[in-house]
Amino acid sequence: MSGIHERPADGTDLNVAEVGGRGGRIASLLSALALGFSGLSFYESVLKTAALEVYVPPVIHYARDQGGDVELFAIPITIVNSGARTGTALTMELTVENLRTDAAVQTKRYYSAYIGEHSPKDDAANRAFAPLSLAGRETFSDTVRFYPEGNPLPALVDDAGDYRFTLKLTTAVPAYPGILDGLLRRDIQPIAFERTLPWFSEQQLGMRRITIPMHDKDWKPTTTPAKG
């Protein structure tokens, strides 16, 4: 009969409009979440500006070149671009401070001159440092050799001891950055670290072209347990 109003088994009224409204709100919420995730994914994969991060291991090397007159630091460097756009490192600048208070030279600046390990041969070919262009999510990892700016003498390193390093990257900036580039661009902050030179020999550095490992004070080499 038309006058009969049906109820659910539990006795509550069945409000079709209310149920439909709730379903619509849930659908709208899910759509908004999907749209938000889609926008975030698009930003991370396409719009996110280059974000270069620099990493230095606990061991670097000190050496001499040109008969022992020119000192250099060979530093394994890893650069990671966590952004989606291409980033370019134009140059690397290294400032080194001798922490010994009676040192003849307290501070000196060095530039990224070559890529690759310091060779024990005088006639070894050198790979000149060139701007590093890293696409989104790309990584660069190699040894960079830093040589002194200007007059190489007197040398900064004249004995064993502790030294403080500050490494700075100069990156390319768009001549006419867009709105997003201006709002989202993040400058690379210099990184600072200290390393210890355990021993020093002018003769071996100059004549044999050896390298002396400089390590973090807390670093210990990994050793294999003896069998038995």
For residue range 64-77, list pLDDT tens digits in order.
998 889 999 999 99
pLDDT band at 40 (very low <50, low <70, confident <90, very high): very low
Asked if residue 1 has pLDDT above 60, the reply is no
Residue 150 dihedral angles phi and psi, to the nearest 5°: 70, -145
Amino acid code (one letter) for 178: G
Report residue 38 as tokens: 């889609």
pLDDT of residue 90: 94
Give the pTM.
0.75
Q: Which residue has the tokens 């050896």?
A: 210
- Mean pLDDT throughout 32-51? 56
Between 228 and 87, the more confident residue is 87
C-alpha dihedral sign at 171, 174, 175, 180 = negative
Q: Are 136 and 84 in contact (CB under 8 A)?
A: yes
pLDDT band at 182 (very low <50, low <70, confident <90, very high): low
Question: In whole angstroms, what is the distance from residue 107 CA to residue 98 CA?
Answer: 6
pLDDT of residue 100: 94
- Mean pLDDT throughout 143-166? 96
pLDDT of residue 27: 66
Between 220 and 5, the more confident residue is 220
Residue 169 dihedral angles phi and psi, to the nearest 5°: -105, 135
| Radius of gyration, CA atoms only, the chain | 30
Buried b (16+ CB within 10 A) or exposed e, 114-125: bbeebeeeeeee
